[in-house]
């Protein structure tokens, strides 16, 4: 019985993490090279969802830091009519952030695939 329960829990954890990494319908994915071409666009809100410590260590200057843990509350400070470009360390937290914003009614959401790990200034 315990062996079955253990494997059921493992399967659920795997399903959860795979689901978190799945693309969100309506969210555009771009590379860091594509991001470079868009950084001057004043009609875009650039949001870095990493922790404040990660952001402080290194960030792209156009990005405002709203940690993933605070995004549900702080998304009200964002303009729903403007595109939101999300970045994190590797792309998984920003994909979770995209799910949150999608659930809050945002429609113009872009995720930077590979995150800051793939950024080369």
Please report, for the chain, the start and end positions of each structural domain, with discontinuous segments joined by +. 2-118
- What is the pTM (predicted TM-score) of this model? 0.82
Per-residue pLDDT at 3: 81
Pairing of strands 44-48, 109-112: unpaired
pLDDT one digit per residue (tens) for the chain, 121 residues: 668 778 778 777 777 666 655 666 789 999 999 999 999 999 999 999 999 999 999 999 999 999 999 999 999 999 999 999 999 999 999 999 999 999 999 999 999 999 999 999 8
Q: Please, where are the H alpha helices in 1-121?
A: 2-21, 32-38, 52-57, 71-74, 92-103
Tokens read off for 74? 């702080």
Q: Around Cβ 66, how many Cβ atoms within 10 Å?
A: 23
Positions marked catalytic? 88
Which residues, other chains included, contact 30 with Cβ-Cβ below 8 Å and sequence gap of 6+?
Answer: 38, 85, 110, 111, 112, 113
**Domain 2-118, CATH homologous superfamily name and number:** Rhodanese-like domain (3.40.250.10)
- The DSSP symbol for 50 reads S
């Amino acid at each position: 019985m315990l062996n079955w329960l253990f494997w059921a829990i493992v399967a659920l954890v795997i399903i959860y993490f795979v689901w978190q990494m799945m693309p969100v319908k309506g969210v555009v994915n771009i590379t860091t090279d594509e991001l470079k071409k868009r950084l001057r666009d004043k009609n875009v809100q650039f949001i870095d969802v990493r922790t404040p410590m990660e952001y402080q260590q290194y960030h792209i200057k156009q990005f405002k830091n709203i940690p993933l843990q605070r995004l549900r509350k702080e998304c009200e400070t964002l303009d729903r009519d403007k595109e939101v470009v999300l970045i994190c360390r590797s792309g998984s937290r920003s994909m979770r952030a995209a799910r949150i914003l999608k659930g809050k009614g945002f429609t113009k959401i872009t995720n930077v695939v590979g995150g800051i790990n793939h950024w080369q200034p």
